[in-house]
Amino acid sequence: MATQVKTRTQLQLMFDAGIGEDGKNIIKRRSFNQVKMDTTADQLYAVSDALASLQEHALVNIVRNDSFDVNEL
């Protein structure tokens, strides 16, 4: 049997930076490391909304990345 232990949480904000010359959307990403691992979705959303209000481009997506170590018992 194996166990998993959360080791890291990262917040990533994705912004719409317009249309490129090839006609595809340009997405810019901003990543924030060292996020508290017990942060709730509501807390992440509130922080993301506040940070997005300071940005030049419109926020299109909020991503939470959790990393785990998986070990055998």
Q: Which residues, in sequence order, are CB contacts of 31 under 8 Å at separation 6+? A: 10, 11, 12, 13
Q: What is the CA radius of gyration of the chain?
A: 16
| Helices marked H in 1-73 | 41-52
What percent of the chain is modeled with pLDDT above 70? 100
The pLDDT value recorded for residue 49 is: 96
Which pLDDT score is estimated for 73? 84
Tell me: the pLDDT tens digits for 18-39?
999 999 999 999 999 999 999 9
Q: Domain-by-domain residue ranges, the chain?
A: 2-72
* 3-state secondary structure (DSSP) of residue 56: coil
pTM confidence score: 0.85
In this prediction, residue 19 carries a pLDDT of 95
